Amino acid sequence: MIKKQFDTKEIFLENGIQLVTVKRDSKLASIQVGLRIGTIFEKEDEKGICHFIEHMLFKGTKKRNNNQINQALEERGGSYNAYTDYTSTVFAVTALAEELEESAEILADMMINATFPEEEVERERGVILAEYKTSMDDVEQYSFQQAHETAFQNSPLRYDVIGTEKSIKGFTKIQLERFYYNHYIPNQCVISIVSPMEHTAVEAMVNQYFGCWQPGILQSRNVAIEKHMSLQRVTYKKHIEQNTLIYLYTFHGLSRMEELALEILNHKLGESPNSILFRALREEKGIAYDVYSEMDATEYIKILSIYTAVGEEDVFEAQSIIEDCIHKIQSREICFDEKNVRLMKKVIKTAVASMLEDSSELASYIVHQKLAGKKIEEFEDDLKAMEKIHAEDIYRVAEKVLREPMVHILMGQ
């Protein structure tokens, strides 16, 4: 589909940058610069350092100070963003096509010439500590952090992307710079650009601004892959109105066909606005407003979670309802007939079509596919494979994955 709809080209630049360009008829252009460095690759004393450095790249280069960087990005008239997740760090700009070259120059300056001014390190430390405290006040986010700490002993998934209060307070300018020079290197960088420009023009532009970026030595880091622990834990937090309940499962070792069947199951279980859990907890019992399931099939992660928030008097009833829903799926009391399966396939196809229509989403999809070492047209294979999935495949993967959960309950004091 992507080969038919868009004119694409993939190349490696001399310094190791993997560049993917998509030429399409659009007035917009989107550039995303991604690096294969994220939370799961951090050592014990580095928790949160990738997130800290992401912030610092906006704080000064050899050419621009903090205000000049943000002003230059603002003047592009579009949107700009950066984020760190478990496996990557990404910087993105989407604007009118004529702003692409300026956007590329700014991002290159940030990637290559960051200076980590001492006063900005201290100022940003305060900002990140405020962000950390805000996350602790967010009951949903706090619940997931507690759930991950409960589910894993050795996996880096125990730690939030932002790090710990101790680590945030402890990072020095020297430590940040050393990590930056070691890991923010072109030979672990992917750049995806969706624009109306010719491939050769985009390649020349990227070479002009990113070509001087010197490659470094790729440092292999072992990532602990851990199955979740099967247990139930109750923790307490003051001043909360709603109590939360999280079920967490891991699914390492599934085939791609099994993961696709699990995606269909997840949609019907809790991702859909008319999901099994939504109807049972909200529509039929009226005890929950928020209820959903979500799935992350990224390498090293492989987590399916169920979340709901209820009043204190309804916590254990909600738990009973969730377990009953899962049991009814596994025992085939809840029917996944071919009509249900076709509908869920249609929803997933719609999501793919929506992604392809949006320049920013397409650029994001491409950068993450290439950072993970996957083909950009992999979704075509997935859509074909989905045609071979039937109800029995969904039941089998439910039996395989939805067993021996980690259950975390957060209650008020």
Query: Cβ contacts of residue 110 below 8 Å, gap of 6+?
Result: 57, 58, 61, 69, 91
Q: Do domains 2-210 and 232-412 have the same CATH topology?
A: yes
CATH 3.30.830.10 fits 2-210, yes or no: yes
% of the chain with per-residue pLDDT over 90: 86
pLDDT digits (tens, 9 = 90+) for 356-389: 889 999 999 999 999 999 998 888 888 888 889 9
Copy the structure tokens of residue 131: 């962000």
Q: Can you tell me the distance from the alpha carbon of 153 to that of 408, in angstroms, rounded to the nearest whole number?
A: 15
Lowest mean pLDDT among 116-125, 131-140, 215-224, 237-246: 215-224
* Amino acid 1: pLDDT: 46
**Cβ contacts of residue 160 below 8 Å, gap of 6+?**
39, 48, 135, 145, 148
Dihedral sign for Cα atoms in the order 294, 299, 302, 305: negative
Active site residue 54: yes
Identify the pLDDT of residue 54. 98
Q: Which of 71-85, 165-179, 189-203, 213-227 has the lowest mean pLDDT?
A: 213-227
Q: Per-residue confidence at 53, pLDDT binned at 50, 70, 90?
A: very high
- For residue 52 the two structure tokens come to 């800290």
Given a contact cutoff of 8 angstroms between Cβ atoms, the answer to whether 206 and 35 are in contact is no
Query: Residues 318, 395, 271, 401: is their CA dihedral positive or negative?
Result: positive
Calculate the average pLDDT of the chain: 94
Could you read off the pLDDT of 237-293 as tens digits, one per residue? 998 999 999 999 999 999 999 999 999 999 999 998 889 999 999 999 999 999 999
Read off the tokens for 55.
């912030």
Q: What is the DSSP track for 148-174?
A: HHHH-SSSGGGS-TT--HHHHHH--HH
Residue 349: predicted pLDDT? 82
Q: Which of 14, 42, 46, 54 is catalytic?
A: 54
3-state secondary structure of 29: strand
User: For residue 326, what are its two tokens?
Assistant: 């899962």
CATH number for the segment(s) 232-412: 3.30.830.10
Q: Phi-psi bin for 163: left (phi > 0), alpha (psi -120 to 50), beta?
A: left
3 has a pLDDT exceeding 60: no
Q: What does the pLDDT read at residue 5?
A: 60
- Confidence band (pLDDT; 50, 70, 90) for 214? very high
Integer Cα distance of 242 and 386 in angstroms: 38
How many other β-carbons are positioned within 10 Å of the β-carbon of residue 68?
Answer: 14
Q: Is 168 in contact with 45 (CB distance < 8 Å)?
A: no
pLDDT at 4: 54
User: In this structure, which long-range contacts are made by residues 239-243, counting pairs with CB atoms below 8 Å and at least 24 apart in sequence?
Assistant: 239/412, 240/139, 240/410, 240/412, 241/412, 242/139, 242/309, 242/310, 242/311, 243/309, 243/310, 243/311, 243/312, 243/315, 243/409, 243/410, 243/411, 243/412
Dist CA 200 CA 7 (whole Å): 12
pLDDT of residue 75: 96
Question: Residue 214: left if φ>0, alpha if ψ -120 to 50, beta else—which one?
Answer: beta
Q: Where are the domains of the chain?
A: 2-210, 232-412
